[in-house]
Amino acid sequence: GALVYQYPRRTICKSGTSMRMECQAVGFQATSVAWYRQSPQKTFELIALSTVNSAIKYEQNFTQEKFPISHPNLSFSSMTVLNAYLEDRGLYLCGARQGPNTEVFFGKGTRLTVV
């Protein structure tokens, strides 16, 4: 079956430091990967959408300078949170799909705590 793995599952970093999280699609070719952040209030914010062979598109309030993303192949994507601060806390979710009109599979997320 199709699965999306995210690691680490949880991480704690000191304010002002950076951390990298990874997303791997297993059982299908992820032509598109979207990174979301779920706040403690459970709302979802789309950070960016990455499609193979296309430029990564960042949503308003999120920038490449703060959340650089790498999507080198059809099974792997990574995102870094640079200079993390308290407002960056949350559950970072990776959603991947094989193509248009297909279901989006999510990983279990990486929970970021900033201290």
List, as one string, the DSSP characters of 68-111. Answer: -EEEEETTEEEEEE-S--GGG-EEEEEEEESSTTSPPEE---EE
For residue 42, the minimal CB distance to another protein (Å) is 5
Beta bridge partners of 13: 114
106 binds another protein (CB under 8 A): yes
34 binds another protein (CB under 8 A): yes
- 112, 89 in Cβ contact below 8 A? yes
For residue 96, the minimal CB distance to another protein (Å) is 11
Q: Which stretches of the chain bind another protein, using CB under 8 A?
A: 4, 6, 32, 34, 42-44, 46, 49, 57, 59, 91, 93, 95, 97, 100-101, 103-109
